[in-house]
Amino acid sequence: MLELRLVQGSLLKKVMESIKDLVNDANFDCSATGFSLQAMDSSHVALVSLLLRSEGFEHYRCDRNLSMGMNLGNMAKMLKCAGNDDIVTVKADDGGDCVTFMFESPNQDKIADFEMKLMDIDSEHLGIPEAEYEAIVRMPSAEFARICKDLSTIGDTVVISVTKEGVKFSTRGDIGTANIVLRQNTSVDKPEEATIIEMETPVSLTFALRYMNSFTKATPLASQVTVSLSSELPVVVEYKIAEMGYLRFYLAPKIEE
């Protein structure tokens, strides 16, 4: 028996909107630790890793580990029917073939339940080792989204370079080139507007902007985004989910020839 009650149901709505276009089907894993998902896009270039820790739920019951295969597009459709202030409860029976999403309005005057069929998914799980990253950039998530969107109007790929001077986002296309440099900025009034660059070694990597733009659909989840870079490693773009966990996107770099 599984029963997860999330007072801030909008978090789950936002998570689904962030990942549904990147991954079609995925297994949600439920354990004492929390509600999690790891899935790759169909071309095995990008990976989504979600964790919602059990402590973040108002009620969390998971009698035994359960893996539930879901079509993320269909799950997103159902969660879209929840109000932004609704409390969302996810329910499933051990060995059952469906999952129920229950939506309660804040004053309990509307209660809806949506039942969705589960599916069998053969998913490959990748082991992601803890790594020391050569450069970690923390910046406003809206700024990161703006940069990716702007650069994708010029080119298909972005070169992200971190040096002592700052972080540079560059692209090149048929009409010309673009370079955007952000310097460290901790002197802002609000911490969510800061840009913080931690660099061990200068690093420069190339990525497909199509994927970066897809990741930025998670912007409503967090005011800041963390971009972790190391040569020879996929970049990690992380959105923290308040008090609960994270949504991380891994993207394999392109090889310059």
Partner 1 sequence: KSSQNRLESFFKPV
Minimum gap (Å) between residue 233 Cβ and partner 1: 6
CA distances from 84 to 14, 60, 67 (A): 10, 21, 27
Question: Cβ closer to partner 1: 74 or 123?
Answer: 123
- CA 183 centroid distance within chain: 25
Minimum gap (Å) between residue 232 Cβ and partner 1: 8
Minimum gap (Å) between residue 250 Cβ and partner 1: 7
Distance CA 250, CA 48 (A): 7
Question: Cβ closer to partner 1: 40 or 225?
Answer: 40
Cβ atoms of 218 and 239 closer than 8 Å: yes
Minimum gap (Å) between residue 246 Cβ and partner 1: 17
Instruction: Enumerate binding residues for partner 1 (CB under 8 A).
Output: 40, 43-47, 124-129, 157, 206, 208, 232-234, 250, 252-257
Question: Cβ closer to partner 1: 132 or 232?
Answer: 232
Question: Cβ closer to partner 1: 144 or 250?
Answer: 250
Side by side, the strands of the sheet bearing 203-208 are: 177-182, 166-172, 157-163, 203-208
Distance CA 21, CA 51 (A): 19
Question: Cβ closer to partner 1: 140 or 155?
Answer: 155
Minimum gap (Å) between residue 129 Cβ and partner 1: 8
Q: At what angle are helices 72-80 and 10-19 packed, to 10 degrees?
A: 140
